[in-house]
Every structure is written in structure tokens, then in C-alpha cells.
Amino acid sequence: MLISDYLYLAPVLSLLAGALLILLLDLLADREQMGRWGWKAALASGLLALGSTFLLGDAPVRVLNVLAYDVFTAYVWRLLLGALVLLILLGESYVRSHTDEPGLFYALLMFFAAGALLVAASTNTMMLLLAVELLSIAGTLLVGFLHADRRATQGAIRCLVYGSAMTAVMALGFSWFYGLTGTTDYALTSEALSGLWGSSPAPVIRPIALVPVLAFVLVGLVVKTGSAPFHHWLPGASDVSGGFVGASAPVAASLAILPKVAGFAALVRLTLVMLPEALDLHIVWRWPLVGILAVAAMLWGSLLGLRQHNIKRLMAFSGIAQLGYVLIGVVLATEAGLSALLVALTAYVLAEMGTFTAIAVVSQKMPLDLVSDYRGLYRRAPLLALGLLLFILSLFGMPGTAGFIGKLWLFTETFRAGYIGLLILAALSSVISLGYYGRVVRAGFMDSDAGMAPVPVPAAASVVLIAMMVGVLVLGIFPNTWLRWAQAAAQVFFASG
């Protein structure tokens, strides 16, 4: 353990320092000043964190024995921090007009992102558990952040209840592994597990007995990170007409992006380091466990999305379906499959970021977030409507957009690996998702805008929108450099053997 290890934590540390600084400023400054300076301080620390990832070099480093800094971590961290910077920009106008405590919002967002960074880099089950907790506590507070809004509080309580139950489930799974192997380190766990059966004449425990344990870990991790936001959107008692608002759009965007990306990184590390191919458990883990989850997410997301009239819930279900496609990358667990996973994940982040930016802008005017609020959007705010169209097409996988490259690569690798059934289900889910994507496009472009007010687009939101549109198109047409990064990141796990 070296002092220099802390260098590699620079991105995390700068986020935490930023959060503490904002909290400190919050004590000293009044609300007006916080509104002006809070987001700038957050932006500065986010940019500092992002910049520092470029100074750390490519060599793989074990940080404090519980984290790994390598090209894969760097890729995921840059993705997370890039999204964070945009989220801060996006939150700026929204937060100022919706809350009394802008400082607190940014501090929570920083903690949230720091948790995500740690989740992505963990190589130790206890570290992972702690990082997930940091992530989910900050996330819960973010959901409940609009104190004035009863529904936000409701959502936060729901997150808290589900969240703690899932922590217990995940901790139980990990404790089993600890009990069997006496270690919490991924690689050491893997070594100890392979010693449990195979060498001795009578195996201590049969691999099949560990399946429920694996299921605990998987469900815990996925619910806490991947689909954590969706409980919140589940209709519950209140329905659309009752004015179900849920998390504010910037918060919804954070929840849709940061934990999912981090969760996938953690899942990849678990799959390839703790349960590597040499281990009998590997195959059970990938298929049926992760595979079934992928299928369920794809079908569930696309089918339930069909019934949504609230655009945030619609996008949440679409996100679940997207998560299912990306999970296929984990099922494949090959070098190319992993590159494809990173590409699809990045495409998802771009499109989701853009979509939620558009939603955030519209919901300032019309806080009910109904799809019908988007009627004639093309006439009321052309930039928003065009952006939304492009992002939705990218989520569908339209050629020429980043989403197509991700899906194409994933599908190609799925075919190579021979998971034809999975492939057909993925295609089916894409086709079903057309049903609800089509509704949004139809409202935005074809329905008349009679009786609807124009939507002013704040400058910060325009910047984010245009950046995402350019990103989606450029990565969709000239993706070479991007794909090389993803390949380099995926190689980390396959270089030695």
C-alpha cells in the first residue's frame, strides 16, 4: 500500500472535495449566491476529476488493494464523469427554479458520482458493497430532494425500502463467498473456489449449490445499480391523471445513467475476475443467470413501455430494455463481446442524456410529463423535437447513429457465440419498442400543436442537446477511434490469457 495509490483516486477525491467544498459554501453563502456559484463549483470539480483521468497513464494499478485502475476503469470513469459534467449543466437552470437548496443538490450529485466511480473500480466484495451503499444512499436522497413535493418523498421512501432489502440480499451472497473462501478479494476468491472442488477426492461443495448465492449477488447488484430508478416510476397508487411526477428530470437522468454504467462495470469485473472462465461457476453465471435477466429486461422493458403515457416512465422502461441488450455483452463474456458492451453502453448514455435533457426542458413548462404534452413539439421547439427524434432513433438502433454501431456489434458477437435465441428475442424487443418510440415521434412531429405553448430552450440545455446530437451522429458514422478505445478497455481482462 503506497501513498502514490491515492494519486489514482484523484478523480474520486476531487469529487468528494468538491462536495465538501459546496457544503461548506452552503453554510457561508445565501441562497442567491449558491444559485450562482454552486453549479460552477460542481462543474469545476467534475472537470477536474475528468481531466485527472487523462493524467494517470495506461498501466494497470491496484489501488489500496481494493480497487483496480486500468484502461477499462479509465474508460468507464471518463464516461461517468463526462455524463456528470453534462448533468451539472443540465441541472443548472432546473435546480435554480425548483429548489431552495441548490448547494445540497450538487453535493449529493457529487457523492452519487463518487459512489459510481468506486463501484466501477472495485475488485473486492466489501468495497463493492460499500460503494454501492454510497451510491444508493446519495441516490435515494436525490430522489427525495424536492421536499415540497409529496411524490418525491414517496419515491425516496420506496427507494430506501427496496434499496435496503437489496443490500441485505447482496451482502448475504457475498458473505457466503467469504465463508467458503475466507477472502473478499475477487481474484483470491476465484482461486480459493477452484480449490474447493476438483483437486480433492470428494469436493467440499458442488458448484451447483452456489447457484442461489450467485443469484443473490446478481439480483442485489442489478437492482441496486441497474434498475434502481424504475421502482420509482412504477405507477403505484397514483396514476397519470393524479399528476405522478416523480423525480425531477435532471435527477431522473442521473439515475438513468450513472448507476447503470457503474453497475455494468462491476458486473463485468465480477464475471471476468471473480468468476473467470476456468471456473465451473462461470458458465452457470452467464447462462442461465445473467442471460435470463437479459431476456426478462428486454421483454419486460419493451412490453410494459407500450402501456406508458408518461414520458419519463416510458423512457425508464425503454432504459430497462436497453439494459437487457447490454447485458447480452456480459452473457458473451468474450473480448469482442465486452468491447461491444462498452460501445452499446456509451451509445445508451449519449441517447439517454439527450432524451432527458429534452424532457427536462419540456417539464419546466409542463410538469406532468405526459406524452401528449409533446404534441406538435416540432413547431414549438424544433431543436428539442429533432434531438428527441435522433435520440429515439439511436435507442432503436437506426443506422447512422451511435446506437446502431452498438447493437450491430453486440448482435454480430451474439451470433458468433451462437446464442440465436437471445438474438431473436433482442430483435423482437427492438421491434416491440417501436410501438412506444413511435408514439413519441408521432406526438412530436405529426400531431397538431393547437393550444400548446412554445417551449423556450435554456442555453445550457441547448449546449447539451447539440453536443449529444453531434456525438450520436459522429459516433454513428465515424466510430473508429471510439471503437479502438472500447477494444483497448476490453483487452484488460484478456491480455494475459
Partner 1 sequence: MNLPILSVTLFMPLMGAVIVLLVDQRQSRMVRWIGVVFAVATLALAGMIWAATAAAGASEMRLVEHMPWIPQLDLWYTLGVDGLSAPMIFLSGLLTTVALFYSAFTVKERVKEYTFLFLLLETAMLGVFMALDMILFYVFWVVGLVPIFLLIGVWGGKRRERAAIKFFVYTLAGSVVGLLGLLAVYHSTGTFNVLDAAAARPFSASPTWATVVFWALFVAFAIRIPVFPFHTWLPDALTEAPTAGSVVLAGALLNLGGYGIMRIVLPFFPERFYTYAVEVPIITIMALMSIVYGALVCMAQWDLKRLLAYSSVAHMGYVTLGLAAASAAWLQGGDSSALNAAASGLNGAALQQFSHGIVMSAMFLLVGMISERARTRDLKAFGGLASVMPATYGLTLVTAFALLGLPGLIGFWSELFVFRGAVRLLPAAAVIGVIGMVFTAGYTLWKLVHCLFLGSLDRDRWAGLGDLLWWEKVSVWPLVILMIVLGIYPAPLVNTFNAAVNVMVQAFVLR
C-alpha cell at 454: 412554445
d(CA 290, CA 272): 13
Measured from the CB atom, is 48 or 398 closer to partner 1? 398
CB closer to partner 1 out of 36 and 416: 416
Residue 99 near residue 136 (C-beta atoms within 8 A): no
Taking the least distance from each CB to partner 1, the nearer of 5 and 449 is 449
Considering beta carbons, is residue 44 or 434 the nearer one to partner 1?
434
Residue 332 Cβ vs partner 1, minimum distance, rounded to whole Å: 14
Q: Most distant CA pair in the chain: distance in Å?
A: 79
For the CB of residue 479, give the shortest distance to partner 1 in the complex, in Å.
Answer: 6
Q: Nearer to partner 1 by C-beta: 164 or 462? A: 462
Annotate 256-267 with DSSP letters as a single string. Answer: HHHHHHHHHHHH
Query: What's the min distance (Å) between Cβ of 399 and partner 1?
Result: 4
Nearer to partner 1, 274 or 490 (CB): 490
Q: How far apart are CA 19 and CA 17, in angstroms?
A: 5
Residue 110 CA to residue 135 CA, distance in Å, equals: 10
Nearest-approach distance from CB 481 to partner 1, in angstroms? 11
Q: How far apart are CA 421 and CA 306, in angstroms?
A: 23
Compute the least distance from the CB of residue 416 to partner 1, in Å: 7
Q: How far is the CB of 446 from partner 1 (least distance, A)?
A: 5
Q: How far is the CB of 349 from partner 1 (least distance, A)?
A: 20
CB of 417 to partner 1, least distance (A): 10
Q: Given the complex with partner 1, which of 235 and 435 has the nearer CB atom? A: 435
Task: Rank residues 275 and 384 by Cβ distance to partner 1 and give the closer one.
Answer: 384
Contact by Cβ (8 Å): 224, 263: yes
DSSP state of 210: G
- E strand map for 267-308: none
**Which residue is associated with the grid cell 474520486?**
12
User: 279: which DSSP letter?
Assistant: S
In angstroms, the Cα distances linking 441 to 346, 353, 383, 391 are 23, 18, 14, 11
Cβ closest to partner 1, residue 6 vs residue 494: 494
Q: H or E segment at 68?
A: strand 67-69
Residue whose CB is less far from partner 1, 67 or 370: 370
Nearer to partner 1, 94 or 391 (CB): 391
Pairing relation of β-strands 67-69 and 61-63? antiparallel
Return d(Cα 424, Cα 435) in angstroms, integer: 18
User: Following DSSP, what letter does each residue of 362-430 receive, concatenated?
Assistant: HHHH-TT-BGGGGTTHHHH-HHHHHHHHHHHHHHHT-TTSHHHHHHHHHHHHHHHHT-HHHHHHHHHHH
In the bound complex, what is the minimum distance in angstroms from residue 318's beta carbon to partner 1?
16
Residues near partner 1, by CB under 8 A? 339, 393, 396, 398-400, 404-405, 408-409, 411-412, 415-416, 423-424, 427, 430-431, 434-435, 438, 442, 445-447, 479-480, 483-484, 487
Please, what is the minimum distance in Å from the beta carbon of residue 24 to partner 1? 47
Instruction: Kindly tell me which of 6 and 415 has the beta carbon lying closer to partner 1.
Output: 415
What the block records as the C-alpha cell of 186 is: 475477487
Compute the least distance from the CB of residue 8 to partner 1, in Å. 29
State the nearest-atom distance from the C-beta of 292 to partner 1, in Å.
21
